[in-house]
Structure 1
């Protein structure tokens, strides 16, 4: 057993007894919910290509999602200030 070699996983050609071949893909395929929207998920690429894809995703964000996150954060901050009984009247003009 080599120290620098990774062990290969065993592959089996198992098909379930009641599996319908006409369905959409294998029922045992593990796929995440948002994989089709991400650039970074997919074929095994080099680290430079993965970094470039992640940088492109960072540069072109979804503005609606950012606005939603800002609203949620603002509401959570206001709830936190209400819980600690912070006086918001210091921000209002007299």
Structure 2
């Protein structure tokens, strides 16, 4: 099964997450199919906290990919932010 989930990056005590499309049998930080965004939970100031390619996420959902619960929340937040900005 294909899932859209977070892959952790960054250094110790400074997390940074890539939102990736991956086979569910691969490791969390292992091989992935496509990177569709990122999430920086400790972004400060003018730094961008969240970026999601909505068109690619909707494509992958259309072909059967499942969202992890955290990614589903982040995608909803990104949609709300896009609507508020427009």
TM bracket (short chain): under 0.3
Structure with the higher helix share, 1 or 2: 1
Larger Rg belongs to: 1
TM-score (structure 2 length as normaliser): 0.25
Structure with the higher strand share, 1 or 2: 2
Per chain length, whose mean CA-contact separation is higher, i.e. which structure has more relative contact order (CA < 8 Å, sep 6+)?
2
TM-score (structure 1 length as normaliser): 0.23
